[in-house]
Amino acid sequence: MIKIFNINSMSKVPIYTQLVEEIQKHIHLGLLQPNEKIPSVRELAQMITVNPNTIQKAYRVLEESGYIYSIPGKGSFVSRVKSHVYDEQRQQLIDELIPIVEKANLLDIDVKDLIYEVTNKIQKEGAEINEYRNK
- What residues form DSSP beta bridges with 70? 76
Total-model pTM: 0.62
Check residue 118 and give its pLDDT: 86
Is residue 127 scored above 80 in pLDDT?
no
State the Cα–Cα distance between residues 121 and 43, nearest whole angstrom: 31
Span 4-9, average pLDDT:
80
**Nearby residues of 133 by Cβ (< 8 Å), 6 or more positions away:** 49
90 confidence band (pLDDT: 50, 70, 90):
confident
DSSP, collapsed to helix, strand or coil, labels residue 38 as strand
Q: What are the start-end ranges of the E strands in 39-82?
A: 68-71, 75-78
21 confidence band (pLDDT: 50, 70, 90):
very high
What torsion do the CA atoms of 16, 1, 45, 67 make, to the nearest 10 degrees?
30
Check residue 132 and give its pLDDT: 46
Is residue 29 scored above 90 in pLDDT?
no
Over pLDDT 90: what percentage of the chain?
45
Check residue 28 and give its pLDDT: 82
**Nearby residues of 20 by Cβ (< 8 Å), 6 or more positions away:** 58, 61, 62
State the Cα–Cα distance between residues 105 and 93, nearest whole angstrom: 19
2 confidence band (pLDDT: 50, 70, 90):
low
Check residue 84 and give its pLDDT: 59
Check residue 131 and give its pLDDT: 52
